[in-house]
């Protein structure tokens, strides 16, 4: 069911994006607003899931072996920073698209 829903969402986005390339005026503005909203929404959702799973795995590893917390903590922070940088890229894309609207 999840794969079907993901496929359907992808098809809908492709079908929606095609007319927006040739659009002018209000439809183009709508497309840019939709694109910026989707960019930040998907980035925040994916980043939150990734950070949650990474943090859970690191804390589970520390809970199983407390002596390894020094070796787990630094790579965990670096991984979380890299995941957050992808979310910031989504925010930058949203700002770029919002700038094209006005």
Report the interhelical angle of 26-64 vs 69-101 (nearest 10°).
Answer: 180
Full DSSP string of 72-101: HHHHHHHHHHHHHHHHHHHHHHHHHHHHHH
Q: What is the CATH number of domain 2-101?
A: 1.20.20.10
Q: Please tell me whether the overall predicted TM-score, pTM, comes out greater than 0.75 for this model.
A: no
Nearest in space to 100 (alpha carbons), one of 38, 44, 30: 30
For every one of its 102 residues, what pLDDT tens digit does the chain have, with 9 covering 90 and above?
Answer: 788 888 888 777 777 666 666 666 666 677 777 777 777 888 888 888 889 999 999 999 999 999 988 898 898 999 889 888 888 888 888 787 777 666
Residue 20 near residue 28, CB atoms below 8 Å: yes
């Amino acid at each position: 069911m999840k794969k079907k829903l993901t496929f359907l969402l992808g098809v809908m986005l492709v079908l929606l994006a095609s007319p927006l390339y040739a659009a002018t005026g209000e439809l183009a503005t709508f497309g840019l607003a939709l694109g910026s909203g989707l960019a930040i929404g998907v980035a925040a959702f994916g980043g939150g899931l990734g950070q949650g799973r990474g943090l859970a795995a690191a804390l589970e590893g520390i809970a199983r072996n407390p002596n390894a917390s020094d070796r787990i903590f630094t790579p965990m922070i670096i991984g979380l920073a890299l995941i957050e940088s992808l979310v910031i890229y989504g925010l930058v894309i949203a700002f770029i698209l919002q700038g094209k609207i006005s």
